[in-house]
Amino acid sequence: MKGIEQALIRFFEQVAQRDSVLLEKLNREGSFSVEDDRWDFTLPDLHRFLQCHQPVFGTIDYKAFRQAIFNSPVNQAVRTYDAEVIIADNQGKVDQSTYAMVWNTAESRP
């Protein structure tokens, strides 16, 4: 599980750094919303995306993915880049809620 956690942190750090190639991939996915100040996602959609785009996630099932993401220090890692992951729309169920990475600076995406 350590490799999965490290891959999650690297992924979220790239998003927090506003990596233009990654943000463009996320933007092209119909299930995500990427704006100048935030990226919105659900956990099932994120799991599907990572399974398709990062080999380390290819064999992890959704339940293990969800456990890994909640046990990883993602927010601690992205704070370095003046970003945070929040619950954007709480539906009372983890799998139905929408999350967002928000950038706390006014800087626009590259």
pLDDT tens digits, 36-92: 999 999 999 999 999 999 999 998 999 999 999 999 999 999 999 999 999 999 999
Number of domains in the chain: 1
Query: What global pTM score does this model have?
Result: 0.90
Assigned domain for 45 exists: yes
Assigned domain for 7 exists: yes
Domain extent for 29: 2-103
Assigned domain for 69 exists: yes
CB atoms within 10 A of CB 1: 11
Assigned domain for 8 exists: yes
44 vs 95: CA distance, rounded Å: 6
- Residue 100 β-bridge partners: 40, 86
Q: How confident is the model at residue 2 (pLDDT cuts 50, 70, 90)?
A: confident
Q: According to the model, what pLDDT value does residue 106 have? A: 56
Assigned domain for 25 exists: yes
